[in-house]
Amino acid sequence: MSKRKTAFKVNEQVLFNGEVQTILAINKGGSTNTPNKQGGVFTGYKSKPCTYTLSNGYNVRGSKLQKIKGGTND
């Protein structure tokens, strides 16, 4: 199995709804009951995406966040 890779890191500053927020925690996504098959062979279950806890208290997906370019956290 490969390691879990995330697009963002804890304490990284990101843009959410046009405001600068800090990521406080990364919450792992759970697995579902939907089987994942590759070439007809069962390889496990599909998983939900991870969410990020922001400094404003929201839990959001990574697709809703934008990296700040030119910062020290690149």
Regarding pTM above 0.85, the answer is no
CA distance 67 to 74: 8
Sheet holding 51-54, edge to edge: 59-61, 51-54, 19-27, 13-16, 66-67
Taking only the tens place, the pLDDT of each residue in 33-42 is 999 999 999 9
Taking only the tens place, the pLDDT of each residue in 39-69 is 999 998 888 889 999 999 999 998 899 988 8
CA distance 52 to 23: 6
